[in-house]
Amino acid sequence: MKLSSHIVFASLLLNGFVLFAQDDETAAKFAPDWARDAIWYQIFPERFRNGDPKNDPTRESLEWPITPSEKWHVTRWTGDWYARDDWETEQDKPNDPDPAPNFYRHGVFDRRYGGDLQGVLDKLDYLADLGINAIYFNPLFYSRSLHKYDGNTYHHIDPFFGPDPRSDLALMEKETADPKTWQWTAADKLFLEIVKQAHKRGMHVILDGVFNHTGRDFFAFKDLRINQQNSPYKDWYVITSFDDPATKRNEFDYKGWWGHKTLPVFAANADRTDMAPGPKAYIFEATKRWMQPNGDVSAGIDGWRLDVADERPPKFWADWNDLVRTLNPNAYTTAEIWKDASKFIADCHFSACMNYHAFAIPLKGYLIDNRIAPSQLAQLLDERRNAFPRPVQYVMQNLTDSHDTDRLASMIVNRDLATYKDAGAISFNENNDAHFANYKIRKPDARERAIQRLVVLFQMTYVGAPMIYYGDEAGMWGGHDPDCRMPMVWPDMKFDPQAIDPRGIPHEPDDNNFDAELFRFYKNAITLRRAQSVFDRGDYASLASDDNAGTFAFLRSNKKQKVVVAFNRSEKPQTLKIPIAFESPVIVFASNEGVLEAKSDGQTMQVTMPALTGAVIANAAKDP
Residue 8: what pLDDT?
A: 35
Distance CA 605, CA 582 (A): 7
Per-residue pLDDT band for 17 (boundaries 50, 70, 90) equals: very low
Q: What pLDDT is recorded for position 423?
A: 44
pLDDT in tens, 446-468: 999 999 999 999 999 999 999 99
Quickly state the pLDDT bin for 26 (edges 50, 70, 90).
Answer: confident
Q: What is the pLDDT of residues 347-358, one digit of tens each?
A: 999 999 999 999
- Give the start-to-end residue ranges of the domains of the chain: 10-16+539-619, 219-263, 354-495+504-531
How far is residue 427's CA from residue 441's CA, in Å, rounded to a whole number?
Answer: 9
pLDDT at 334 over 60: yes
The yes-or-no verdict on residue 403 having pLDDT over 80 is yes
Indicate whether 405 pLDDT > 60.
yes
pLDDT at 27: 85
CATH topology of domain 219-263: Oligo-1,6-glucosidase; domain 2 (3.90.400)
The pLDDT tens digits for 519-575 are 999 999 999 999 999 999 999 999 999 999 999 999 999 998 999 999 999 999 999
What pLDDT does residue 4 have? 34
Q: Please check whether residue 159 is in contact with residue 169, taking contact to mean a CB–CB distance below 8 angstroms.
A: yes
Q: Is the pLDDT of residue 331 over 60?
A: yes
Residue whose C-alpha is closest to residue 142's, from 210, 198, 204: 210
Confidence of residue 20 (pLDDT cuts 50, 70, 90): very low
CATH fold label, 10-16+539-619: Immunoglobulin-like (2.60.40)
Catalytic residue at 307? yes
How far apart CA 52 and CA 161 sit, in angstroms, is: 9
pLDDT at 197: 98
Please say whether the beta carbons of 453 and 475 come within 8 A. Answer: no
Q: Check residue 419 and give its pLDDT.
A: 63
Contact 513, 536 (CB under 8 A): no
Q: Report whether pLDDT(19) > 60.
A: no
Q: Is 1's pLDDT higher than 60?
A: no
Do 124 and 201 form a contact (C-beta atoms < 8 A)? yes
Mean pLDDT of the chain: 90
Contact between residue 156 and residue 185 where contact means Cβ atoms under 8 Å apart: yes
Judged against a pLDDT cut of 90, whether residue 186 lies above it is answered with yes
Residue 3 has pLDDT above 60, yes or no: no
What digits encode the pLDDT tens for the residues 30-69?
Answer: 999 999 999 999 999 999 999 999 999 999 898 765 666 7
pLDDT, position 312: 94
CA distance 2 to 461: 22
Catalytic residue among 110, 168, 302, 307: 307
- Please write the tens of the pLDDT for every residue from 254-271: 999 999 999 999 999 999
Helix H or strand E encompassing 410:
helix 408-413
What's the rounded Cα separation, in Å, for the pair 280 and 266? Answer: 9
From the candidates 336, 369, 473, 481, give the one annotated as an active-site residue: 336
Report the chain's terminal Cα–Cα distance, integer Å: 25
pLDDT at 413: 94
**What are the pLDDT digits (tens) for 64-96?**
656 667 889 999 999 999 999 989 888 777 766
pLDDT at 15 over 80: no
Residue range 12-28: average pLDDT? Answer: 46
Which comes out higher in pLDDT, residue 8 or 537? 537
Domain 354-495+504-531 top-level CATH class: alpha beta
The beta strands (E) that lie in 217-280 are given as 239-241, 253-254, 256-257, 260-264
Query: pTM of the full predicted structure?
Result: 0.94
Lowest mean pLDDT among 26-30, 312-316, 572-576: 26-30
- What percentage of the chain carries pLDDT values higher than 90? 80
Mean pLDDT of 174-182: 91
- Give the three-state DSSP class for 192: helix
Query: 366 — phi, psi (to 5°)?
Result: -90, -60
